[in-house]
Structure 1
Amino acid sequence: MKIEQLYTGCLAQGAYYIESAGEVAIIDPLRETQQYVEKAKKNNAKIKYILETHFHADFVSGHVDLANKTNATIVFGPAAQTDYDIHVARDGEELKLGNLTIKVLHTPGHTLESVTYLLKDENGKDHAIFSGDTLFLGDVGRPDLAIKSDLTKEDLAAMLFDSLRNKIMTLADDVIVYPAHGAGSACGKNLSKETVGVLGEQKKTNYALRADMSKAEFVKEVLDGIAPPPQYFAKNAMMNKMGYDTFDTILQTGDTPLSPEDFEALANHESALILDVRRESEYIKGHIPNSIFIGLHGQFAPWVGALITDIKQPILLVVPEGKSAEAVTRLSRVGYDNTLGYLEGGIEAWKNAGKDVETLDSISAIEFADKAKASEINILDVRKPGEYQSMHLENAQHFALDFINQQMNEVDKNKTYYIHCAGGYRSVIAASILKARGFNNLIDVAGGFGAIKKTDLPTTDFICPTTL
């Protein structure tokens, strides 16, 4: 028996490779599927099953592509309906994989078709659960993402309570827990940084698995403080349900080098969004006018999904050298399949062609503190609500990047704004969006709140985020 977790940090997502006696099951594969094909080939094994725990909302699964490449069977839980061929498993159905058995446990709540896959070893002993978004380490899946459902989030939370207690908590404490996500995912509230655990530990420490918890208490606590889902979630879920263009086609089209002249012409002709995925320090020093910054080195795909509202938006890329294929791949993971190409030679080629370049003003936290003490200035704190509530500058306006598209009426183009986040990544994203919409008087605070706290500017008292 071989189990391998294939974890992708940008999405905080875990796919799984299970192998026994020459047969392989892939659980919740990423969009780029060649890695699974090559791994199975290297091990002289054949991919038999593609097991989906549910219709994912935070990324586009590679299940359709992988099935087309391998003739493997896509398996979903009860009630799943798709526009492509699948096996709809019954609750309690057992799938044979080499010398192993995978039992399908219907665990609705996160979504209606959600399942947990219980892996039994060669001797029939319960070995591990692949819990999808039903159970995380430290948390459970959000119950507000059901597609086209007339059920309320309270109804789904109640289902989740029953699923956890009737299907999962009854299992032995030594069963290993392999969840679909870890910390950083928007599919839950309080996910652990750990990505593998044991069920007994979760029974002791996971707030949602308290033995003395009533269903009403569970519903209240699971829903308390849950943020609205990012706008791309429903779109990704529908792509996973209906199917999509092959990843190989997406990559071939998107990974196309373009001269500055062709790049500019295509941007104008296709009304394309220019997405700059370099580091924020490089964007600050020089960027194409009206381009948006979202750096590959951060939580790239989730921020793309949260901020670019049209999933079919034509996109042109400004990338670090050798990173074009990676950028196209990571865009496709969240369903942004309309990349037209990238600027060959990068920003230097653009400059050498005599094209316009803009910069973004950026100052240190010490310089910022001096200006704040010398006169009244406008400060935008673009961190998440929980970060802001935990501690912030006394005179800062909260302007969360997550909701920037809904908050544009809260800022004034005639004012000068000093923008900060926690460390400097999100503030440059926010500044780039504001610049593209005609805000010209913007100053980024390098190092963000982490650096600002070291100055003597007054802040609110610290409140532990877990108590909010």
Structure 2
Amino acid sequence: MKVEQIYTGCLAQGAYYISSEGEAAIIDPLRDTKPYLDRLAHDAVQLKYIFETHFHADFVSGHLDLSHDTGAQIVYGPTAKPGFEAIVAEDNQIFKVGKVSIRVIHTPGHTMESSCFLLTDEEGHEHALFSGDTLFLGDVGRPDLAQKAANLTKEELAGLLYDSLYNKILPLADDIVIYPAHGAGSACGKNMMKETVDTLGNQKRVNYAFNQPSREAFIASVIDGLLPPPAYFGGNVAMNKLGYDHFEKVLGRSLEALSPDEFESKAKLFGALILDTRAIEDFASAFIPQSVNIGVDGDFAPWAGAMIIDVQQPILIVADPGREEEVITRLGRVGFDHVLGYLGRGFESWLASGKQIDRVERISAEQFAHTVDLGIDLVIDVRKESEFLSEHVEGADNKPLDYINDWIGKLPRDRHFYLHCAGGYRSMIAASILQARGYRNFTDIIGGFSAIAQTNISKTDFVCQSRVSKK
């Protein structure tokens, strides 16, 4: 028996590869299926089943492409209603893969079809639980995403999640290995540990969800502090449930190199968003007017999903030469299939054409500390609230980047302000959106709060918060 976790850090997502005696199963695959196909070929095994723990919201799964390419059957838990051929399993139904077995455990709460998969090894020992978004390490799945689909409140879904955990998961043996669908950084939970594998016994000790005095206390704790989900979640659920184009087809039509004239023409004709994925320093020094910067060397896909509201949005790519396919692949993971092409030869071709460029005004943290008047000047901190509460510039205004579409219209246009995040990645996203919306009255602080904290500027006292972002 072979069990492998295939973890993608950008999405904080875990897929799983299981093989035994010439057969294999894959659980919760990403859309770009090459890593799984490569493993199948290397091990000379036949993919028998593709298990889906639920209809995912934060990424587009690779179940359809894998099934198309291998002939494997797709398996969902009870109550699932996929728009394509699949096995909708019964609770406790067992599937054989070589000499191991996988039992479906229906665990509604995160969504109604949510299920865990219990792996029993060749000796008949219950070895591992693939817990999907039902049970994370240190957390559980949020119960607010399926309210409309289930016609239930988040409180009612949280109650179902309690029943699933306490009646079906808690009685399992302590030595069972827990393999969750996500880790720290995912928007599918709020309190996940940085580890990606643990034992059920340890989770019984350290996971707050297993240590609530009552069902009512569990519900209150699980729904407390939930933030609004990213805008792209609904579009991804629909794609996972109803179907989508094969990813090779998406790549084929998206990997079109465009001249500056062609690029400019397509942007105007289709109302395309120009997405510049270069490093923040390169973008700030020169970029195509109206373009939005989300650097590929960061949490690219989640931020693209959070900033681009509609997965149907036409997109044109500016990328460092040679990285265009990577960018398109990572966009496809979160459902953005409408890439119209990319700027051939990168941004240098735009510069060589003599076309108009724009820049972001920036200063160092030291310059900021020497010039800012905290009693008068406006400082916008786009970090998450927990980061802001941990420590911030005295008098700064916290406006998390996640909700820029809610607050951008409230910023003054007749008063200068300073902009920063933790290290510069998020504030450059914000700066690009601000300039695309016509704001010119701000200055970005190089290095963000990490650099500001090294100056003598007045700051609030440090208060420890969990999982403070570094970017």
TM-score, normalization by structure 1: 0.98
1:467/1:353 Cα in 2 relative to 1: closer, same or farther (>3 Å)?
closer
Cα shift at 1:399? 1.5
Cα contact 2:374–2:394 (8 A) shared by 1:
no
1:397/1:375 Cα in 2 relative to 1: closer, same or farther (>3 Å)?
closer
Distance 2:84 2:373 in 1: 62
Corresponding residue number in structure 1 for 2:179? 178
Corresponding residue number in structure 2 for 1:34? 34
Letter in 2 for 1:437: R
* Alignment deviations for residues 296-331 of structure 1 (CA, whole Å, 9 cap, x no partner): 111111111111112111100000121000000000
1:223/1:413 Cα in 2 relative to 1: closer, same or farther (>3 Å)?
same
Cα shift at 1:454? 1.7
TM-score, normalization by structure 2: 0.97
Equivalenced residues, count:
467
Corresponding residue number in structure 2 for 1:389? 389
* Alignment deviations for residues 256-284 of structure 1 (CA, whole Å, 9 cap, x no partner): 11111111111111111100001101101
Corresponding residue number in structure 2 for 1:358? 358
1:385/1:435 Cα in 2 relative to 1: closer, same or farther (>3 Å)?
same
Corresponding residue number in structure 2 for 1:90? 90
Cα shift at 1:467? 12
Distance 1:92 1:218 in 2: 25
Corresponding residue number in structure 2 for 1:150? 151
Cα shift at 1:42? 1.8
- In structure 1, runs of 5+ residues without a counterpart are none
Distance 1:173 1:148 in 2: 34
Cα shift at 1:391? 2.0
Corresponding residue number in structure 2 for 1:43? 43
Corresponding residue number in structure 2 for 1:165? 166
Q: Percent sequence identity over matched residues?
A: 53
Corresponding residue number in structure 1 for 2:242? 242
Corresponding residue number in structure 1 for 2:53? 53
Corresponding residue number in structure 2 for 1:311? 311
Letter in 2 for 1:236: N
Corresponding residue number in structure 1 for 2:188? 187
Corresponding residue number in structure 2 for 1:322? 322
Q: Secondary structure at the match of 1:74?
A: strand
Residue 103 (str. 1) matches residue 106 (str. 2): no
Cα shift at 1:441? 2.0
- In structure 2, runs of 5+ residues without a counterpart are none
CA RMSD of aligned residues (A): 1.4
Cα contact 2:374–2:395 (8 A) shared by 1:
no
Cα shift at 1:396? 1.0
Distance 2:213 2:54 in 1: 26
Letter in 2 for 1:190: N
Corresponding residue number in structure 2 for 1:70? 70
Cα contact 2:102–2:117 (8 A) shared by 1:
yes
Q: Secondary structure at the match of 1:38?
A: helix
Distance 1:427 1:158 in 2: 39
Letter in 2 for 1:171: L
Cα shift at 1:374? 8.4
Which is further off, 455-464 or 67-76?
Answer: 455-464
1:467/1:158 Cα in 2 relative to 1: closer, same or farther (>3 Å)?
farther
1:237/1:467 Cα in 2 relative to 1: closer, same or farther (>3 Å)?
closer
Corresponding residue number in structure 1 for 2:202? 201
* Alignment deviations for residues 75-109 of structure 1 (CA, whole Å, 9 cap, x no partner): 00100001100100111010000000101000111
Task: After the TM superposition, list the runs of 4 or more consecutive aligned residues in structure 1 that deviate by more than 6 angstroms.
Answer: none
Which is further off, 412-421 or 89-98?
Answer: 412-421
Distance 1:21 1:388 in 2: 53
Q: Secondary structure at the match of 2:325?
A: helix
Cα contact 2:93–2:103 (8 A) shared by 1:
yes
